[in-house]
Amino acid sequence: MNAYSSVLRTLRARNVCETTISPPTSLTIADTEWVRQVVTNRALWVSPQSNFTIKRLGMFCNFADGLVFANANERLNVTLHTQAFTRLQVGTSITMVSGAKAATGVGFTGNISQNTILRVPYSGTEYQYVICADDPSTDTDVDLTDYAEANVTGASLVKLVALPNYHRLDFTRISELNYMYDIDEFVSPLAFASAAATDMVMWCEVNQTEFNYYKSSIDFLTRSVSPDYDGDAVHFDLVVEVEYTPQ
């Protein structure tokens, strides 16, 4: 806590990519393997009335010590969106199991689609945000981009409807894993939110901007990783430090 009563929080968008490793074979991650994730999945501090600063960000990986960027022209490119939403209860229900990406329910078709952000219970009065990975396979089944953090049984389905404007940050120079880069990006929600906003969500995508220059595969050398790890999971998390003043 400083003289301005601001606080610093470390937020994490988990599993922006999941794959497997087969050392010493190089690991190639296609642009289609990165998924959208919510950075502020349970952080209720994001308010349309509260300015904040994105202080630092970094891409963290459980195999970071062994992954080496293979090509000098390749970098990880992160886009952060801070966006205001309104809530829409669509009269359907959703059931989620902690640690699973598959959700079940009633009435998915026609109400949600790929990249829809849902607001679902977490614990008590807390809520979590999750993103639909694709269009529902049936009226009762949908996949999420990340694992549910809590069991949810038959909760009313509330989806977020985006207001037209948002703040966007492109950071295109990540060439080192498990390292926090200084950003110092000031964000003022009042510049793009309206009085109708009920939720403020920060979400991210990697190597997936509309600029094709940033949309590319990434090659990592793995020769320093023991072959004993062949077939094991590799997962990447985006870590973001944010400074804000609580309401």
As a whole number, mean pLDDT of residues 212-234 equals: 90
pLDDT confidence of 123, banded at 50, 70, 90? confident
Task: Please write the tens of the pLDDT for every residue from 96-111.
Answer: 999 999 999 999 999 9
pTM over 0.85: yes
Contacts of 72 (CB under 8 A, 6+ apart): none
- Rg of the chain (C-alpha set): 19
Task: Look at the domain 86-160 and name its fold.
Answer: Thrombin, subunit H (2.40.10)
Residue spans per domain, the chain: 7-84+164-244, 86-160
Contacts of 215 (CB under 8 A, 6+ apart): 31, 207, 208, 209
Distance between CA atoms of residues 50 and 7, nearest Å: 12
Q: What is the pLDDT of residue 48?
A: 65
Distance between CA atoms of residues 236 and 221, nearest Å: 16
Assess whether the region 7-84+164-244 and the region 86-160 belong to the same CATH fold: no
Task: Look over the chain and give the mean of its residue pLDDT values, rounded to a whole number.
Answer: 90
Listed residue (184, 157, 159) closest to 241, CA to CA: 184
Task: Look at the domain 7-84+164-244 and name its fold.
Answer: Jelly Rolls (2.60.120)
Above 70 in pLDDT, residue 187?
A: yes
Q: What is the pLDDT of residue 209?
A: 65
Q: Both tokens of residue 178?
A: 């498990």
Distance between CA atoms of residues 106 and 124, nearest Å: 23
Distance between CA atoms of residues 25 and 27, nearest Å: 6
As a whole number, mean pLDDT of residues 81-91 equals: 90
Q: Both tokens of residue 243?
A: 């400074």
